[in-house]
Structure 1
Amino acid sequence: MTNRVTVIGSLNVDTILEIPRLPKPGETLAMGDQSFAGGGKGSNQGIAAGRAGADTHFIGKIGDDANGKFMVKSMTDSGINVDQVTVTKEAKTGQAFILLDKNGQNSILVYGGANQVLSTKDVDNAKDIIANSDFIITQFETPLAVAEAAFKVAKDNNVVTILNPAPAQEAIPASLLAVSDLVVPNETECQTLTGVEITDEASMIKGAEKLHAMGAKGVIITVGSKGAFYHTADGNYGFVDAFKVNAVDTTAAGDTFIGALSSQLKPDLSNLAEAIRFANRASSITVQRMGAHPSIPTLAEIDAAEKAAK
């Protein structure tokens, strides 16, 4: 059965600046190259879900500009339904400027633009789409009030909610966490939310338990090239190792993980470990390629990588 996934979130055009290292204050540094690609945490997650086989809808906002048209084409080329991606004249389409060093690590500057114009009215207009989904995903590159409104519609219709609390924010409304079935932070975001420094399994358990106490029913803490830790409210937990590859660009790795996860996960979370393994495999492909949208793998590529590893 194909999972029906709705993503509500950001759409950004990425400008990728390849540099040997981050410049020091006041320093001028020569770039190796620059390129452009579709991105934004929301659209990355939507494309990852769609390419991994989910029936995917997207709710978002773009500006009345060439970047907006570029983003819509990037989404539709991956089979994403963009009927609820609307145009605003209040702001330009979101943009991100990615500083990518020679080791594949990145630092990112984000202009929210039209993403910040997304409103609860957009949620109202998409109620039927949300209600008919198996999963809904959101992040923190659009207003928190919009995320909470969407998740409340989801919970009224028994739709599983997946919250990616990124970029990290210290103050998240308890009312949002209360309607979040699965919270998926990385180790830095988990520390920001809980105050627990993630260093080992004991700290992961402590961080997850704090998130449960805040209202989250399930928790996945991603720890980059090491893998992902999961913990459910009933005390089931474990760690799923990542696949070892040579990373060239970690942009969209976490987003690929979440989108791919949603394409395979069962609504009762009963196959959580297996879905995480699939998501790890998808992310391992993403980090071996440049850019956000261009790096996200298809289901055929994920299956081929799995078969080649056996």
Structure 2
Amino acid sequence: MIASEKDPSTSYFPLGAARRLVGTALTEDLGPDGLDVTSSATIPADQTATGHVVAREPGVLAGAPIIAPVLDGVASMTGGTPPSLEVRIADGTRLEAGDVIAVLHGPVRQVLMAERMMLNILSRLSGVASHTRRWADALAGTRCTVLDTRKTTPGLRELEKYAVRAGGGTNKRMGLFDVAMVKDNHVVAAGGVAAAYAAIRTRHPDVAIEVEVESTQQALEALEAGARFLMCDNMSIDLLRATVAAARSWVAERGEGVEIEATGGLTLDVAAAYAATGIDYMSVGGLTHSSPIIDLALDLD
């Protein structure tokens, strides 16, 4: 499979990225002095309580491992003691309304300082995972896998791509550095598909190369140039089916294979029909740029 091989496991959680995010978000929320003016004025420093992180609606969980860094970050910033934490549901698990994701116990001030940031991140990542799961379910039983894109929130790419994996999707590439994608502007600048492909292969011989095509003829030209990973952009189902058949026939005559991706304007209601054309992948930018959040809450006893 020609996709990013950087930490492909669903179980891998990008802790470094999470800690960087927590540091930035805490300063944004508590200010340079680490202050919650409401809690510090109304809640005694020694008051403790138990809180439950609860799902308010169905979905798929992603981001539970970030709760601990959030609690630790609040404690470090304020000089307090982090609450104890019990995570009860693993990432990738389907949630029902009322499910208790985690239980916290400790200083109320610390819990409330952590509440909104923790829920913001969990809700966002769980929204991505839930949206991805709908696509994965729609493609179940086909040869097609749903891929994400680089259309991620700046600074959150590793975490959002982790959420895609938690939802049953696959990461295509982490950035501009690990997979080369030849698009129309590259073709114009390089003087043709063959020239662009050759230049990349010469400069970066070990990097996977994908070529964007918009017609069957362009697909065959890309194959002639050496490409074995095609991205069929904004094709109708009939055109895509014809392109897939022509491309697979071309490489079969040479005893080779090709991987084919569809992209552009895809929706859940046509996902199965597009998958039936014989494509290997379907890339959906909306997994990361348009997923609605999942409603999660923190309830104190």
Q: Structure 1-normalised TM-score?
A: 0.28
Which structure shows the higher strand fraction?
Answer: 1
Which structure shows the higher helix fraction?
Answer: 2
Asked which structure has the greater RCO (Cα within 8 Å, sep 6+), the reply is: 2
Q: Structure 2-normalised TM-score?
A: 0.29
